[in-house]
Amino acid sequence: VDELILEGVVVTLNLDGSPNIAPMGPRVDRDITRLVLRPFRTSQTYQNLKRQPEGVLHVTDDVELIARAAIGQPDPLPPLVPLESIRVLRLADCCRWFAFRVTALDDADERTTIQCRVVERGTVRDFFGLNRAKHAVLEAAILATRIGILPADEIRSQLQRLAPLVQKTAGDQERRAFALLDDYIGKGLHAERPSERVASDAAK
């Protein structure tokens, strides 16, 4: 089967019953009947799926939500609605949603592999369409989650290459989302600097 990555937003159930919202890129088949999620063992999404093996994957063009969810939990939470097949709620606003159940979970490695089967699906509204600023925000959101993993200079230079796409093609939502991520990354890399300095001092 032809499989590819679908960048979406996954909602799972926290221990206290509240929803957890996280951008995740599962591998899917073209018809999206199955997903393979690869969350790190440190992620809330993994911990929730291990305990409560169901969730909802959303296709959305709302890159501001993706940006906010990438760097923490969106506050306030976006509106959610209950589903018939599972206990987890779905985002009220999205393009498409796919409720899934976990069929197999392999957490031997730090990056886990979680096989899921889609049990219910729906369409809410049209997808806006391709837009370079939206994709730039998506890439910046991934960079924001790679602080401490990728070298600071690489994050900085990649972010700089994305900025003109936002300047040229964004609307308000994309501009706000990119500014949020730019600010978060700036602060995150700044906070990282002392240890870098220690490392370079030690190298002298």
Ligand X SMILES: Cc1cc2nc3c(=O)[nH]c(=O)nc-3n(C[C@H](O)[C@H](O)[C@H](O)COP(=O)(O)O)c2cc1C
- Residues forming contacts to ligand X in the complex (CB under 6 A) are 7, 20, 22-25, 38-40, 43-45, 66, 70, 138, 141-142, 145
Specify the residue, 66 or 155, whose C-beta has the smaller distance to ligand X.
66
| Minimum distance of ligand X from residue 45's CB (angstroms) | 3
CA-closest candidate to residue 158, choices 70, 149, 193, 192: 149
Specify the residue, 127 or 203, whose C-beta has the smaller distance to ligand X.
127
Pairing of strands 3-5, 27-29: antiparallel
Specify the residue, 43 or 173, whose C-beta has the smaller distance to ligand X.
43
Q: Map tokens 């837009």 to a residue.
A: 131
Specify the residue, 162 or 197, whose C-beta has the smaller distance to ligand X.
162
| Minimum distance of ligand X from residue 96's CB (angstroms) | 16
Specify the residue, 11 or 99, whose C-beta has the smaller distance to ligand X.
11
Residue 72 and residue 49: Cα distance in Å, rounded? 18
- Farthest CA pair distance, the chain: 63
| Minimum distance of ligand X from residue 170's CB (angstroms) | 17
> Does residue 140 contact residue 159 with C-beta atoms inside 8 Å?
yes
Six-digit token string for 66? 């993706």
To 10 degrees, what angle do helices 172-203 and 152-169 make? 160
Q: How far is CA 147 from CA 29, 60, 92, in A?
A: 30, 24, 30
| Minimum distance of ligand X from residue 15's CB (angstroms) | 13
| Minimum distance of ligand X from residue 33's CB (angstroms) | 19
Six-digit token string for 91? 């985002």
